[in-house]
A and B are shown apart, each in its own frame.
Chain A
Amino acid sequence: MSDVLDRPDIGHNAGDDLKVVGTRPIRPDGADKVTGRAAFGADFNMPGQLVGKVLRSPHAHARIVSIDAKKARALPGVKAIVTGADFPNLADEFHEGGEAASNLRDLAMNVMARDKALYDGHAVAAVAATSSAVADEALALITVVYEVLPHVQEVEAAMAQDAPLLHGRMFTEGLEARPDKPSNIAKRNRIARGDLDAGFAAADVIVEGRYTTQAVHQGYIEPHACVASWAADGQCSVWSSSQGQFMVRTYCAKVLGLEISNIRVTPAEIGGGFGGKTTVYLEPLALALSRQSGHPVKMVMTRDEVFRATGPTSGSVMYVRLGAKTDGTITAADVELKYQAGAFPGSPVGAGSMTALACYHIPNFRITGWDVVTNTPKVAAYRAPGAPISAFAVECAVDDLALKLGMDPIALREKNAVRDGMKASYGPTFQNIGYVETLEAIKTSPHYQIPLGPNQGRGVAVGFWFNVGGESTAALHVGEDGTAVVVTGNPDIGGSRASMAMMAAEALGIGVEKVRPIVADTASIGFSMLTGGSRTTFATGMAVVQAAEKVVAELKRRAALIWEVSADHVAWREGVAHCLDPAKTDKPPLSLEAIAAQSARTGGPISAQVSLNAQGAGPGFAAHICDVEIDPETGGVTVLRYTAAQDVGKAIHPAYVEGQIQGGVAQGVGWALNEEYIFDRDGKMENAGFLDYRVPVASDLPMIDAIMVEVPNPRHPFGAKGVGEVPIVPPLAAVANAVRAATGVRMCDLPLSPPKIRAVLDAKEG
């Protein structure tokens, strides 16, 4: 199914007699998930709970003149109603979550509108009632008087001088001089190197284009859901589906003005997130309703609410200009990126800028990014946030360059590829990267050799994502029978419990079936940053391995005690202590089980906890090939074949690494072909459901061949690099380049839906 390419010269910490890492055991949470027992966000109930629901703005931009909830309050069964007035007004305070860093003031206003509703679906009030029907009736009885304001949704329209302003107090950051007037442009960022004019002057060939993408949703199948209880003594409990229970705790504390120790958040199984569950929407509302009503409150979004009120990623307008020598050497690149942020600042344009040219070694370039607020839902992180968008523009332009130069698209990319020791476009010098290896892998793949038929086309594109580390905690407890429990604070979205158990088992030298991995609530394990940014296997895995190493040290100490030797004379191999004391060579080895059985006598329970802030996550690179066939009469596109090669460092559980790659590709194909937010003239979302927001279905896709290239990351005990983000970066352009090859026409506006393709074919016919 997949090839594994090892590069042994760098593999100093991987592949050394690994017994567990690199195998494909059945995931420890699997049986619960195939039998319906796994408890997701909406599967939990508290005694006496009420049903909470949200009243949402029907307007894209409106001043909230008044909210009259008297009739609703009088309805029997209504126990609480909250509006913006029930939440503290927060000062500007940045909570660093990376490129989508959130201002907590904005977060609070996104959770519940104050004086203005900034998008169709913005929460303006919430009720808690004894039943769903009563809650619905109560929502209908709340009278909100709106003063409808002009709205703006397209990014370039929002940047215009005369655009309606979302926030009167926003002055563009990042310009040479602070502007004298507010605007919708939150920030400009710029990365540059060399002499752009000289670079273009040195070019023999220049290509350029304007590219657009539409807002797309993460599309997790599980709607947001939580149950929250605010007890009379102020102790709060939250059960919710999110990418980080500690994130939920922090944000609830900030939005509601609570102390962190008063909030305990228990992570439910999470039904997909892809970045979309890295923030809160319902939890603070449920807590506020619980406080007011004195009952636990359960809230579950409808699919319509998920689309209208939770984070899509940005729509964009982009300009790319590339110059190259006839031999393919790229001499200059000028990239301008304009990203929708939605109602509040914080589009991922910064990451989009930093990743845009990260696969290329280009002496002269300039990348300019604009973060622009619009009357659309506040964007949330979506898998490699910002990177697929800018990669779409750049990879289409590189494809055009290859065509103009008459070069093979992979050869052109190889010629300009970043390699170890070269400076990344965003600054630092690359080390231990496996980019050219992924190019080599697709070039030599069987897929690249298959001849194409009529109306078929092949596209190539590459992608980059940084991957991150960060704060994680892991605890490892050895049971008296020699089995172990590994506890972490990271929700398991895609099988991370399996990789945690595998890494612990490897480090302990025992079978993976002897290790049970648990994801604990915020009161039961130390702080861990959320599951996202492809950090869990790397950073939390590092904590797990270090905890296991501490346990091994302790086991050796216990064995030494049992044998009455020095701990220096104990060796730990494959889960067994060996006595090295020359005077006591008769001591039979002691298994973990045997040592654990003596733990009471030798000092008590054997366990270890490690909290760390992991640094040195290795960047991820991917190279993809996509084949499509066009129906020239209808403009329909069929994806015939797809191959994705990626540097994964070291695949801990290869099946779930392949799964990450395949899933990212599928999302990217959907983004390229059919997914988009469609708004009507009044700024209301027209396709807030899975019928008309068209995510790929099983019959839309072929098998997706995942090629894992393993160039180990020396900072990780087994060489792992994050794998979840980068697979979504190349597909937009890989599909678009395949469509260009099949039609002979470059299309620059996503999605490449049938009407658009038929229109360009008609235009081509003349």
Chain B
Amino acid sequence: MSKQHVSTIVNGDPVEFLADPGMTLLDALRDELDLTGSKEGCGSGDCGACSVILDGRLVCSCLVLAPEAEGRRVETIEGLAHGSELHPLQQKFLEHAALQCGFCTPGLLMASKALLDVNPDPTESEARYWLAGNLCRCTGYDKIIRAVMDAAAELRQERV
């Protein structure tokens, strides 16, 4: 089993690592690049805790092979804030108490970012369906949806 050399861009920075061909992008992020913000809750694409944005598309990094990332752009939770300034979604999640244990939070934030990138003014129903692939067992989703809607409103304000 020969490892493959992978060059990719993670959160804007070029990185390189060696990957077993069957390694997932999630394992590469966590084990090779020490980016442990993306979580594994199921390993089968059913919980969304490993959500990252790959070339602009929201994906489960557990359903991407690490070598597929060659030459692509990966955005993870570690790149969401601008330096020490939190992204409005991060800030709204905190203000609305939209997390309890916080394990699903990185995935939910990346999924929410992907939503607001394509739909700056989602309805509650659109937000709920978009985020249906991100399981949260603590909150009942109420405060998460409120945080996303509030962040969307703030981002729209910023754009005006």
B interface footprint on A21-34 (CB within 8 Å = 1, 0 otherwise): 00010110111011
Q: A34-B90, A36-B76, A36-B77 are in contact. Are A26 and B140 (CB under 8 A)?
A: no
A interface footprint on B83-123 (CB within 8 Å = 1, 0 otherwise): 00010001001111101111111100100000000000000
The answer for the CA separation of A36 and B81 in the assembled complex, in Å, is 10
CB of B140 within 8 A of CB of A663, answer yes
Q: A35-B81, A37-B37, A659-B139 are in contact. Are A302 and B94 (CB under 8 A)?
A: no
Q: Which of A37, A269, A659, A666 counts the most B-chain CB atoms under 10 A from its CB?
A: A659
The answer for the CA separation of A367 and B46 in the assembled complex, in Å, is 41
Q: Does A40 contact B (CB under 8 A)?
A: yes
User: Can you name the residue of chain B whose Cβ is closest to the Cβ of A273?
Assistant: B101
The answer for the CA separation of A26 and B20 in the assembled complex, in Å, is 42
Q: Which of A77-85, A169-177, A688-696 interfaces with chain B?
A: A688-696
B interface footprint on A3-42 (CB within 8 Å = 1, 0 otherwise): 0000000000000000000001011011101111111101
A interface footprint on B124-148 (CB within 8 Å = 1, 0 otherwise): 1101110111111111111111100
B interface footprint on A691-717 (CB within 8 Å = 1, 0 otherwise): 100011111110110000000000000
CB of B42 within 8 A of CB of A690, answer yes
Residues of B within 8 A of A195 (CB): none
B interface footprint on A455-486 (CB within 8 Å = 1, 0 otherwise): 00000000000000000000000000000000
Q: How far is the CB of B147 from chain A (nearest CB, A)?
A: 10
CB of B103 within 8 A of CB of A494, answer no
Residues of B within 8 A of A24 (CB): 97
* Chain A interface, >50% SS class: loop
Question: Which one of B90, B95, B103 contacts A35 once the chains associate, using CB atoms below 8 Å?
Answer: B90
Q: A494-B101, A691-B44 are in contact. Are A31 and B37 (CB under 8 A)?
A: no
Q: Does B153 contact A (CB under 8 A)?
A: no
Q: A35-B80, A663-B137, A690-B47 are in contact. Are A220 and B128 (CB under 8 A)?
A: no
Residues of B within 8 A of A273 (CB): 101
In the complex, chain A residues 269-295 whose Cβ is within 8 Å of any chain B Cβ: 269-274
The answer for the CA separation of A30 and B98 in the assembled complex, in Å, is 10
Q: Does A344 contact B (CB under 8 A)?
A: no
Q: Which of B127, B141, B144 counts the most A-chain CB atoms under 10 A from its CB?
A: B141
User: Can you name the residue of chain A whose Cβ is closest to the Cβ of B77?
Assistant: A36
Question: Which one of B30, B38, B39, B138 contacts A494 once the chains associate, using CB atoms below 8 Å?
Answer: B138
CB of B135 within 8 A of CB of A690, answer yes
Interface size on A (CB < 8 Å)? 59
Q: Does A141 contact B (CB under 8 A)?
A: no
The answer for the CA separation of A716 and B141 in the assembled complex, in Å, is 30
Q: Does A609 contact B (CB under 8 A)?
A: no
Q: Does B49 contact A (CB under 8 A)?
A: yes
CB of B103 within 8 A of CB of A272, answer yes
Residues of A within 8 A of B125 (CB): 699
The answer for the CA separation of A227 and B28 in the assembled complex, in Å, is 20
Question: Which one of A31, A271, A272 contacts B94 once the chains associate, using CB atoms below 8 Å?
Answer: A31
Q: Does A156 contact B (CB under 8 A)?
A: no
Q: A24-B97, A698-B134, A701-B140 are in contact. Are A271 and B44 (CB under 8 A)?
A: no
CB of A271 within 8 A of CB of B39, answer yes
Q: A31-B86, A271-B39, A303-B41 are in contact. Are A221 and B103 (CB under 8 A)?
A: yes
Q: Does A93 contact B (CB under 8 A)?
A: no
User: Can you name the residue of chain A whose Cβ is closest to the Cβ of B93?
Assistant: A34
CB of A221 within 8 A of CB of B137, answer yes
Question: Which one of A655, A690, A704 contacts B46 once the chains associate, using CB atoms below 8 Å?
Answer: A690
Q: Which of B37, B103, B106 counts the most A-chain CB atoms under 10 A from its CB?
A: B103
Q: Does A374 contact B (CB under 8 A)?
A: no
A interface footprint on B24-35 (CB within 8 Å = 1, 0 otherwise): 000000100001
In the complex, chain A residues 551-591 whose Cβ is within 8 Å of any chain B Cβ: none
Q: How far is the CB of B47 from chain A (nearest CB, A)?
A: 5
User: Can you name the residue of chain A whose Cβ is closest to the Cβ of B90?
Assistant: A34
Q: Does B7 contact A (CB under 8 A)?
A: no
CB of A494 within 8 A of CB of B100, answer yes
CB of B41 within 8 A of CB of A698, answer no
Residues of A within 8 A of B131 (CB): 698-699
Question: Which one of B97, B127, B132, B140 contacts A665 once the chains associate, using CB atoms below 8 Å?
Answer: B140
Question: Which one of A31, A695, A700, A701 contacts B137 once the chains associate, using CB atoms below 8 Å?
Answer: A695
User: Can you name the residue of chain A whose Cβ is closest to the Cβ of B100?
Assistant: A494
Q: A690-B47, A698-B128, A698-B132 are in contact. Are A39 and B36 (CB under 8 A)?
A: yes
CB of A272 within 8 A of CB of B137, answer yes
User: Can you name the residue of chain A whose Cβ is closest to the Cβ of B104?
Assistant: A221
The answer for the CA separation of A63 and B76 in the assembled complex, in Å, is 48
The answer for the CA separation of A37 and B38 in the assembled complex, in Å, is 10
CB of A695 within 8 A of CB of B135, answer yes
The answer for the CA separation of A690 and B50 in the assembled complex, in Å, is 14
Q: Does A43 contact B (CB under 8 A)?
A: yes
User: Can you name the residue of chain B whose Cβ is closest to the Cβ of A270?
Assistant: B101
B interface footprint on A228-272 (CB within 8 Å = 1, 0 otherwise): 000000000000000000000000000000000000000001111
CB of A698 within 8 A of CB of B144, answer yes
Q: How far is the CB of B43 from chain A (nearest CB, A)?
A: 6
CB of B47 within 8 A of CB of A698, answer no
Q: Does A103 contact B (CB under 8 A)?
A: no
Q: Does A495 contact B (CB under 8 A)?
A: yes
The answer for the CA separation of A305 and B109 in the assembled complex, in Å, is 27
User: Can you name the residue of chain B whose Cβ is closest to the Cβ of A222?
Assistant: B103
Q: A34-B105, A222-B39, A303-B43 are in contact. Are A495 and B142 (CB under 8 A)?
A: no
The answer for the CA separation of A655 and B146 in the assembled complex, in Å, is 12
CB of A689 within 8 A of CB of B41, answer no
Residues of B within 8 A of A663 (CB): 100, 137-140
Q: Does B16 contact A (CB under 8 A)?
A: no
Residues of A within 8 A of B78 (CB): 35-36
Residues of A within 8 A of B90 (CB): 34-35
Q: How far is the CB of B129 from chain A (nearest CB, A)?
A: 5
Question: Which one of A35, A664, A665 contacts B77 once the chains associate, using CB atoms below 8 Å?
Answer: A35
CB of A38 within 8 A of CB of B102, answer yes
User: Can you name the residue of chain A whose Cβ is closest to the Cβ of B35?
Assistant: A36
The answer for the CA separation of A666 and B140 in the assembled complex, in Å, is 5
Q: Does A355 contact B (CB under 8 A)?
A: no
Residues of B within 8 A of A658 (CB): 97, 142-143
What are 23 A-to-B residue pairs whose CB atoms are below 8 Å?
A34-B102, A34-B105, A36-B35, A36-B76, A220-B101, A220-B137, A221-B101, A223-B40, A272-B138, A303-B47, A495-B100, A658-B143, A662-B140, A663-B137, A663-B139, A690-B46, A695-B137, A696-B141, A697-B135, A698-B131, A698-B132, A701-B141, A703-B145
List 15 additional A-B contacts (Cβ < 8 Å) besides A24-B97, A690-B42, A690-B135. A34-B86, A36-B106, A42-B36, A221-B41, A221-B104, A221-B136, A222-B39, A269-B101, A303-B46, A658-B142, A659-B143, A660-B100, A663-B100, A691-B44, A704-B140
Q: Ordered nearest first, which 10 A-B pairs have the shortest CB separation?
A: A36-B37, A271-B103, A33-B102, A666-B140, A662-B140, A655-B97, A690-B46, A36-B77, A34-B90, A494-B100
